[in-house]
Amino acid sequence: MKIVRARDYDDMSRKVANIISAQVILKPDCVLGLATGSTPIGAYRQLAGWNQKGDCDFSQVSTYNLDEYRGLSHDDPQSYHYFMKTNFFDHVNIDQANTHVPDGSNPDADAACKEYDRIVAAAGYPDLQLLGIGNNGHIGFNEPDDHFSKGTHCVNLTESTIQANSRLFDRIEDVPRQAYTMGVQTIMFAKMIVIAANGSAKAQAVHDMCYGPVTPQCPASILQLHDNVVVVADEAALALCPAE
């Protein structure tokens, strides 16, 4: 793993956006794996600004998101389809037919997950996969478990994840209890992985991801076994990691 230190959230966002834009410039028809949540919003805004100035062209890019809540329609304001449109896709020149998010509106979990695995594999897996990391070390919605997951699957969200996501809902009762997520093995098929992290709440998870044992109790720790991983984190998120 390569660790890139950032001063704060804005600096982290610029550094992440720089890596993504370099990928797009070097391979205009690249496949990007994208993440949701509050962490990548700053990077998406930076990329949108560069796109609008003509510095980064997304017209040939295709994207595959990590996950989606089960039971939400694509136009639900809390869905990740909606999140990606409002925070990124509507602000860049990407062909939205080339953007993909698991179909949380499909009640048939097995069919929805198999179909998503099929299209991600057909695309050749991401050239660059962007990840956040949960307070409990989850990546995507792969929660701590007794094994590492493989393909896209339906997960029961842990209480800590439900609590963390409740800030985005009017009531905690409205937070979905299940989600469809790419599996850990699928994530590991990406050619390059970039993990963004900020804030002291992520410090233990970042330490365990980078320096702890490889264990499904910290799903992100599997990334130690990937040969092209860049961790971009601010000083607060790196507080428990040795200075390098």
Q: Annotated active-site positions, please?
A: 67, 136, 138, 143
Distances 43 to 130, 185, 234 between C-alpha atoms, Å: 10, 25, 14
Q: How many CB atoms lie within 10 A of CB 12?
A: 26
Distances 51 to 9, 22, 126, 196 between C-alpha atoms, Å: 21, 13, 21, 21
C-alpha of 178 from chain center = 17
Distance CA 232, CA 192 (A): 13
192: exposed, middle or buried (Cβ count in 10 Å: 0-12, 13-18, 19+): middle
- CB contact at 8 A, 47 and 41: no
- SS3 state at 92: coil
The tokens describing 13, both together, are 């966002």
Instruction: Provide the Cα torsion 220, 189, 125, 30; round to 10°.
Output: 80
Distance CA 114, CA 194 (A): 25
